[in-house]
Amino acid sequence: MSAVVARPRLLRGLPLVVVAVAASVLAYVLQGLGFADAVPSDVTLFAVLFGVTAVAGWAAVRWLAPRADPILYPVAVLLSGLGLAMLFRLMVARGHPEIAQNQAIWLGVGLLCLIAVLWFVKDVRQLDAFTYTIGLAGVILLLLPVLPGIGEVVNGARLWVRFGPIAFQPAEFGRVLIVIFLASYLAAKRELLAEGVGRWGLPRAKDLGPLLMAWGLSLAVLFLERDMGASLLLFGVFVVMLWVATGRPAYLWIGGLLFVLGALLGYLAFSHVQDRVDYWLHALDPATVHDIGYGQLAQSWFALASGGMVGTGLGQGSPTLIPYVGSDFIFSAFGEELGMLGTSALLLLYLVLVGRGLRIGVDQGNPFAKLLAVGITATLALQTFVIVAGVTRLIPLTGVPLPLVSYGGTSKVATFVMLGLLLRTSSGERT
């Protein structure tokens, strides 16, 4: 008997994309009404450009990966649209609308990169053949800002690389390549790494090598680039992928201990890490509240408190009092103007992304594809947790962008590349 394969529905996912575009345009209109008591004069241009770009991206996904997950792309469009509407309002209030316009351009570049991933990567298992080449390229991109002459220090961290007028953060793309490398390596070595000894099934001493190497690389990022956020994400994603590959909780415990040790070393070695911990502990002290380091955390709390349950209304808050509101603290801007209900809805959108990503991983029969989906999803989940926990003072602020929402072109493009890999994974072989 021949198996009957269900053909994908032609308009699958389009209604969700339309809703995402409509919600984004509505947010843009409400921002204008709240801030200037008038509908933005360029709302038609915003609606047409954003809508055409989003629908064109959906059509490309349907053409290149017709069986891909139908939820991921619309959620990404909605998060991007809400972030763009908020950035336009914040940058207009500060007299720099061109910054938001640049972010709109980066959003288009990100969608083009997503389409490029689907065009060139017909099956994610193709990447499994380039394990160490991809790994080496990832390490080079992670450490590229260390090179003299091209690396730049911004806010105490050496993250940026500049070639003439072009500046970007190569670590954003380096993390993507490292996740691909780890998925390939762990898929090949998972049975050896899963062997445990003793009552608790602890890993053998020789099997701790990959964990120690990842710890060393994350420390190199911390010590050479002074980037606590990137170091935390890199090591955290590796530990999660190692646990999924082996099924051994012992790796989580050992990874946690190594993380605490690395964080302690970073705290003792760098004054800017000590400053961030100090900001975290004493942000609301009257003697320090006027210092910018303490003040932005204090203003973040004030913004969230002012929002209450339902918020002040889009465009009617004062989030521009926060110094880095467009990048590190955009979640606080949403908290002030949409309240606890609005920020909960925003977090639920990320929860949908994470849930769909993990479901894609569970559905895969190939170990590499499974670990790749889990690694990408863990990256998005940890990055969201780290920045939200930082601005709410649950943990010290690390300065990573909120995926798809915050200001940051490199981060937006890298996130769309990861989403492209997830979409391609979901359209491939199933168990």
- Predicted TM-score (pTM) of the model is 0.89
From residue 135, give the alpha-carbon distance in Å to each of 127, 208, 350. Answer: 11, 19, 28
Question: Distance between CA atoms of 103 and 409, rounded to whole angstroms?
Answer: 6
Closest by CA to 32, choosing from 313, 310, 311, 299, is: 313
Angle in degrees, 0-180, between the axes of helices 97-120 and 43-64, rounded to the nearest 10: 10
Scored b (16 or more CB within 10 A) or e, 290-319 reads: ebebbbbbbbbbbbbebbeeebbbbbebbb
Nearest partner of 398 among 305, 282, 272, 285, judged by Cα: 272
Half-sphere exposure of 409 (CA within 13 A, CB side): 14
* CA-based nearest residue to 68, from 431, 428, 430, 427: 427
Could you identify the residue written with the tokens 């989030």?
319
Task: State how far the Cα of 280 lies from the Cα of 272, in Å rounded to an integer.
Answer: 12
What are the pLDDT tens digits along the chain (431 aa)?
A: 344 444 557 778 899 999 999 999 999 999 988 888 888 888 999 999 999 999 999 999 999 998 999 999 999 999 999 999 999 888 888 888 888 888 899 999 999 999 999 999 998 999 988 888 888 888 888 777 777 766 666 665 666 677 666 777 888 888 899 899 889 888 887 777 666 655 555 556 565 666 667 667 776 666 666 667 777 777 888 888 888 888 878 778 887 888 788 778 777 877 777 777 777 777 777 655 555 555 678 888 888 888 889 889 888 888 888 888 887 889 999 999 999 999 999 999 999 999 999 999 998 888 999 999 999 999 999 999 989 988 888 888 777 789 999 888 888 999 999 999 999 999 875 44
Interaxial angle between packed helices 170-194 and 131-143, expressed in degrees from 0 to 180 and rounded to the nearest 10:
140
Which two structure tokens, joined as six digits, stand for 402?
């909120």
Residue 163: strand pairing partners:
166
Of 312, 307, 289, 278, give the one whose Cα is nearest residue 393.
278
